[in-house]
Amino acid sequence: MTEASTPARRATIADVARLAEVSSATVSFVINDKHTMRISEATRERVWAAVRELGYRPNALAKSLSSGSSRFIGVVADAIATTPFAGQLIQGAQDEAWRHGYVLLVANTDEEKDVEAQALRMLLEHQVAGILYSTYYHREVEVPADLRNAQVVLANCYAEGSSLPCVVPDEVQGGRSATDVLLDAGHTRIAFVNSVEDAPATRGRLEGYQAALAARDVPFDEGLVLTLGSHQESGWTAAEKLLAMTEPPTAVFCYNDRVAMGLYDALRERGLRVPADMAVVGFDNQEIIAGHVRPPLTTVALPHYEIGARAVQVLLGLDTGEPSGTLRHVIACPTVTRESV
């Protein structure tokens, strides 16, 4: 118990109390603006003056300890460094968390189970109020058992048969929007270059593609659906196959922007122009590609920011405008119009 004047020591609530000549309880009430306790205006002034004079900052750790509720939200992410997606999700989560006085504790697991276990232990030991379990692409996950007794929201993923709330993108609507853009431009022979994995994205976008065609009475032609990969290379392959058809399509909906980029290259190689010779729509809205290919690519965005933000809302039990008890929160994928259609 130092008398005073240890120069480097940060001011505590006791210092403020002493200077303002009140009890530390009073200081606590004043700075937390708790109006349950009636404190005179004069006293409040004295307290705030002392706070300013000492440059007092509350110790959030002590606060959590004594109040019994922390303001941490843990985020476990499987891959924060490979795409900008995780960053967008985290940013959405952070903005929403800050809005409510919460702070993010981020843990990257690299999809390694032991790293994940370490991450969860770490988050739990820090008394997080809840955990966002997130993935960088929309997929099904197995929820680690350690999470059983924590407050959890799945972000950009889901667990079949679990009762955990999840926030996911609306792949079906996304696929439908992409197709609609092409339909709106008058196209009827529209190819869909899908990816090969069995995933919500491949299934949902195909479903949306079909729904869009059906809604306009455009017959579904199975031959116009190619099942390839998700990288640029698949765009090249797609161009080859599409152009070899007896009646080639006039428009292509690509599984993602990377495929569209490959397709662009292949078309250019053949002297074909986008959109004059072939209209193209992508998916993902990866700015680095979509914003800068020639011509800039019209695409559908994955709402990672929104997913992060919504996941925090669900975690904190805020009103999201959805019926209460909603477990599956589906976020729309907006169309981003550029010049490829």
Partner DNA sequence: CTGAAAGCGCTTACAG
Residue 162 has a CB neighbour count (10 Å cut-off) of 16
- Least distance to DNA, CB of residue 7, Å: 14
Report the residue number, 184 or 233, with the smaller CB distance to a second copy: 233
Q: Which of 18, 48, 63, 71: binder of DNA (CB under 7 A)? A: 63
Report the residue number, 25 or 327, with the smaller CB distance to DNA: 25
Give SS3 for 143: coil
Report the residue number, 74 or 200, with the smaller CB distance to a second copy: 74
Cα separation, 193 vs 202, whole angstroms: 10
CA distances from 177 to 163, 184, 249, 291 (A): 30, 10, 18, 19
Cβ neighbours for 267, distance < 8 A, ≥ 6 positions apart:
239, 273, 274, 277, 278
Q: Does 122 bind DNA (CB under 7 A)?
A: no
- Asked whether 274 and 340 are in contact (CB, 8 A), the reply is yes
Report the residue number, 40 or 324, with the smaller CB distance to DNA: 40
Q: Does 68 bind DNA (CB under 7 A)?
A: yes
Cα separation, 234 vs 252, whole angstroms: 13
- Least distance to a second copy, CB of residue 223, Å: 27
Q: Six-digit token pair at 72?
A: 């941490």
For the chain, the first-to-last Cα distance in angstroms comes to 73
Residues that bind a second copy (CB under 8 A): 57-62, 64-65, 70, 80-84, 86-88, 90-91, 94, 98, 103-108, 110, 118, 121-122, 124-127, 231-233, 236, 258, 261-262, 265, 268-269, 286-289, 292-294, 305
Q: For residue 334, which of 307, 315, 312 has the smallest C-alpha distance?
A: 307
The residue type found at 341 is V
- Least distance to a second copy, CB of residue 76, Å: 12
Q: Does 59 bind DNA (CB under 7 A)?
A: yes
Report the residue number, 67 or 337, with the smaller CB distance to a second copy: 67
- Least distance to DNA, CB of residue 48, Å: 13
Report the residue number, 23 or 82, with the smaller CB distance to DNA: 23
Q: Which of 23, 118, 326, 337: binder of DNA (CB under 7 A)? A: 23
